[in-house]
Amino acid sequence: MSAGATGVGSLPGGDAREAAKTVTGSFEEFPYLAELPARGPGADMIGRSLGLLVDMYAHVEPSGWRISDRPGRDSKRARSWLGEDLDALEEFTQGYTGKLKVQAVGPWTLAAALELHGGEAMLQDPGACRDLAGSLAEGLREHLADVRKRIPGADVVLQLDEPSLTAVLLGRVRSASGYRTYRAVDRQVVEGALRDLFAVHDGEVVVHSCAPEVPFGLLRRAGATGVSFDFSLLTEREDDTIGEAVEGGTKLFAGVVPGTDAPLSDPGGSVMGVRKLWRRLGLAPGTLAESVVVTPSCGLAGASPAYARAVQAHCVRAARSLADNPE
């Protein structure tokens, strides 16, 4: 059995067809819907996800995205670019059967990034956070139905990007002034909102964060079937949590290749740390291929186009090395 490989989400450049061609050519068994933030606000991961919201709108201010009373140019642009990206992916996946990943920003990172009318983050208002999560759930339900209609043979995997999740749980998200931080959100509230959101999809749900201290246990309890993370940020203190997650059936989307231009080691070297982790945890080497998906450490928006192409091909070779030589 071959270990899987896929991308995280973003790519450099602004050409939707070129991105779809690159992704489907690199990851023949696990392509994804690319994001192209270089096009501007609305093509970034926050803007794209705000464009998915139902009966909730946002626009761009100099400080970032802010809630609006009605749909405006920025919301419409976000939806337009998403449509363009879906059209391109549909073109290059005619007759495709297999896994296909789509990404959206999760409710807690959105709440930390989206400003209320007064300029403070939505995170400070529990009622607004609940409304945001509900609106996102509706939007994702529609988006997933659209993807299935366009690519009927796809086994859709939903990835929720939550890079701010740890900061939300630990009370580290800074206020608009920067002089204080918002109060930590109760772990049960965070877990409950995620569980409700995961329920909109009847397939695999992966949560991605390239921040340190990813809360593996919380995500597993909320129902995530996989966790995507920057492997270089793991510490041995997290071994027990990761071991429990793997034994409970959670897939590890291990970000083992740098997301910005850097020399690439041989494919086997890129996954050496994963093999060592397996040995430390006392897990059977034969389970590596079914438990690990190889990815870049984070999105590739800051990489050169040539490096982005090379990294994706490298991930596929590294996954093959992991499957062929698990020991």
If you average pLDDT over residues 246-266, what whole number do you get? 93
> pLDDT by residue (tens digit) across 118-151?
999 999 999 999 999 999 999 999 999 999 999 9
pLDDT at residue 48 in the model: 96
> pLDDT by residue (tens digit) across 12-58?
999 999 999 999 999 999 999 999 999 999 999 999 999 999 999 99
Q: What percent of the chain has a predicted confidence (pLDDT) above 90?
A: 87
326 has pLDDT over 80: no
Rounded to whole angstroms, how far apart are CA atoms 105 and 197? Answer: 11
pLDDT at residue 71 in the model: 87
DSSP summary character for residue 252: E
Q: What percent of the chain has a predicted confidence (pLDDT) above 70?
A: 99
pLDDT at residue 35 in the model: 97
198 has pLDDT over 90: yes
261 has pLDDT over 80: yes
What are the DSSP calls for 42-100, one per residue? TTSHHHHHHHH-SS-EEEEETTEEEEESS--HHHHHHHHHHHHHHHHHHHHTTT--EEE
Provide the mean pLDDT of the chain: 94
If you average pLDDT over residues 76-85, what whole number do you get? 96
3 has pLDDT over 60: no
66 has pLDDT over 90: yes
Predicted confidence band of residue 1 (pLDDT cuts 50, 70, 90): very low
If you average pLDDT over residues 244-254, what whole number do you get? 94
> pLDDT by residue (tens digit) across 202-221?
999 999 999 999 999 999 99
pLDDT at residue 281 in the model: 92
Rounded to whole angstroms, how far apart are CA atoms 93 and 201? Answer: 21
Structure tokens belonging to residue 134: 């509900």
- Domain residue spans in the chain? 4-324
According to DSSP, the β-strands at 64-68 and 57-61 are: antiparallel
According to DSSP, the β-strands at 251-257 and 292-296 are: parallel
Rounded to whole angstroms, how far apart are CA atoms 48 and 82? Answer: 7
pLDDT at residue 60 in the model: 94
Rounded to whole angstroms, how far apart are CA atoms 182 and 124? Answer: 6
User: What CATH fold (topology level) applies to the domain 4-324?
Assistant: TIM Barrel (3.20.20)
Answer whether 11's CB lies under 8 Å from 36's CB: yes
